[in-house]
Amino acid sequence: MIEIEVKAPVGDPKHLERSLIEFGATPIGIETQADTYYNAPYRDFAKTDEALRIRVEDGRSILTYKGPKMDKVSKTRKEVQTEIKDIEGMGNILSSLGFYPVANVSKKRKNFRFGDFFISLDEVRDLGSFMEVEIDVKDSRNFPEKVELIFKFLEKLGINRESSIRKSYLEMVIEKKEGKSF
């Protein structure tokens, strides 16, 4: 699956939530997510622009691999995930293979649906508020058109293209730890 995604910081999440609902987006739930990101012993995911994480979300655990970003304007990338029945066992498998945790990201996420768009308003611990808009597709043939659809949607909400962020929450957390700005 290809996850076509655009992220932007949000100054007033309550106002944006009201705008989404007025625009016709349907609230579909609130989640609490705790992500542990891992790095590989044989290549540095920060250099290859990949990610491997275990997400604990409302009692479920999911292992996710994210491939390198596919363009220069969005966070579009290949994503593969599978549910984990035994999180401790999965952690032991990863560490036995040499994978090691590099950072944790915790957030509260309010989700909305608007047509093909899956929209999340995130409050990320130690980073602030953000909005992610994504569309999932099976192949990448027409993904630039989908990216443009997302940007047009954001413009209708008063969020311009220039304010979008391509960095992942993981990258921002690591930069904050190192004293850099995102």
Distance CA 62, CA 83 (A): 4
131-168 as b/e: b if 16+ CB within 10 A: bbbbbeeeeeeebeebbebbbebbeebebebeebbeeb
* Single-letter residue type at 65: Y
The active-site residue, picked from 37, 42, 65, 169, is 37
100 is annotated as an active-site residue: no
Cα-to-chain-centroid distance, residue 81: 13
Backbone angles phi, psi at 148, to 5 degrees: -65, -35
Catalytic residues: 37
